[in-house]
Amino acid sequence: MSLRALDVTDVHYVESLSPGGGRALLPPRAWYAASDAARLSLNGRWRFRLAAAADADDDAFAAPGYDTGGWDEVRVPGHWVLQGDGAFGGPIYTNHLYPFPVDPPRVPTENPTGDHLRVFDLPGDWPPAGDGEAVLRFDGVESCARVWLNGEELGHFKGSRLAHEFAVGPLLRARGNVLAVRVHQWSAGSYLEDQDQWWLPGIFRDVTLLHRPEGCVADFFVHAGYDHRTGEGTLRVDSEVPGRVMVAELGIDIATGDAVSLPVEPWTAETPRLYDGVLATAGERVPLRIGFRTVAVEDGLLRVNGRPLLFRGVNRHEFHPTNGRALDLETMRRDVVLMKRHHINAVRTSHYPPHPAFLDLCDELGLWVVDECDLETHGFVEQEWRDNPVDDDRWTPALLDRATRMVERDKNHPSVVVWSLGNECGTGRGLTAMAAAIRARDTSRPLHYEGDPDCRDTDLYSRMYASHAEVERIGRRLDGGTLKRRQLPFILCEYAHAMGNGPGGLADYQRLFDTYERCQGGFVWEWIDHALAHPAYGYAYGGDFGEELHDGNFVCDGLVFADRTPSPGLIEYKKAIEPVRIEGDAIEGTARITNRYDFADLRGLAFTWSYEVDGEPVATGTLAVPALDPGEWVEVKLPEPPAGAAGTAETRWTIRAVLADGTAWGPPGHVMAWAQLPVSGARLTSPATGARPVRSGALITLGPAVFDARSGALRSVGEVAVAGPRLDVWRAPTDNDNGASWQPDPRYGPLWRELGLHRMQHRLDAVELLDDALVVRTRVAPAAREVGFATAYRWTSDGTRLRLTVSVVPEGDWKVPLPRLGIRLGLPGAASGDGGPVPVRWFGGGPGEAYPDTATASAIGLWHSDVDALQTPYVRPQENGARADVRWAEVGGLRVEGEPPFWFTARRWTTEQLDAAGHLTDLAPGDTVWLNLDHRQQGIGSQSCGPGPLPQYQLHADEAEFTFTFAQLPR
Interacting residue ranges for ligand GAL, rule: CB under 6 A: 95, 195-196, 351, 423-424, 464, 494, 497, 525, 554, 557, 945
Q: What is the rounded CA–CA span in Å between residue 816 and residue 752?
A: 8
Inter-residue contact 724 to 823 (CB < 8 Å): yes
CA distance 237 to 628: 36
Count the Cβ atoms, other than its own, within 10 Å of residue 299: 10
Measured from the Cβ of residue 834, the count of other Cβ atoms closer than 10 Å reads 6
Closer to ligand GAL by CB, 267 or 352: give it: 352
CA torsion sign for 400, 405, 410, 411 is positive
For ligand GAL, give the closer residue by CB, 424 or 472: 424
Cβ proximity to ligand GAL, 489 vs 500, nearer residue: 500
From the list 191, 193, 160, the residue with the least C-alpha distance to 79 is 160
Between 526 and 598, CB nearer to ligand GAL: 526
Supply the Cα-derived Rg of the chain in whole angstroms: 32
Q: Which is nearer to ligand GAL, 413 or 497 (CB)?
A: 497
Q: Measured from the CB of residue 473, what is the shortest distance to ligand GAL in angstroms?
A: 21
For residue 896, give the 3-state DSSP assignment. Answer: strand
Minimum distance from residue 936 beta carbon to ligand GAL (Å): 29
- CB nearer to ligand GAL: pick between 194 and 612: 194
Closest approach of ligand GAL to the CB of residue 163, in Å? 23
Whole-number Å distance between alpha carbons of 203 and 911: 44
Q: Which residue is nearest to ligand GAL (CB)?
A: 196
842 close to 894: Cβ distance less than 8 angstroms: no
Give the residues across from 595 on adjacent strands. Answer: 580
Give the CA angle between residues 296, 297, 298 to the nearest 5°.
Answer: 105
Ranges assigned E (strand) in 525-567 = 532-534, 538-540
**Nearest distance from residue 946's CB to ligand GAL, in Å?**
9
Distance of CA 135 to the CA centre of its chain: 36
Distance CA 936, CA 882 (A): 11
CB of 943 to ligand GAL, least distance (A): 12
Question: CB of residue 922 vs ligand GAL: minimum separation in angstroms?
Answer: 24
What is each CA distance from 372 to 249, 315, 339, 405, 824, in whole angstroms? 33, 10, 19, 11, 48
Give me the half-sphere count of Cα atoms (radius 13 Å) on the Cβ side of residue 111.
Answer: 26
CB of 466 to ligand GAL, least distance (A): 12
Report yes or no: 283 and 210 within 8 Å, Cβ to Cβ.
no
Residues 890, 841 contacting (CB under 8 angstroms): yes
Q: Rounded to the nearest whole angstrom, what is the least distance from the CB of residue 532 to ligand GAL in the complex? A: 17
Which sequence positions are flagged as catalytic?
Answer: 424, 494
* Separation CA 3–CA 268 (nearest Å): 46
Any residues with CB less than 8 A from the CB of 200 and at least 6 apart, and which? 79, 81, 82, 91, 142, 324, 325
Residue 699: CB minimum distance to ligand GAL, A:
55
450 or 578: CB nearest ligand GAL? 450
Of 159 and 558, the one with the shorter C-beta distance to ligand GAL is: 558
- Report the alpha-carbon distance of residue 479 to residue 494 in Å, rounded: 18
DSSP 691-758: PPPEEETTEEEETTEEEETTT--EEEETTEE-EEEEEE------HHHH--TT-SS--HHHHHHHHTGG
Residue closer to ligand GAL by CB (options 196, 360) is 196
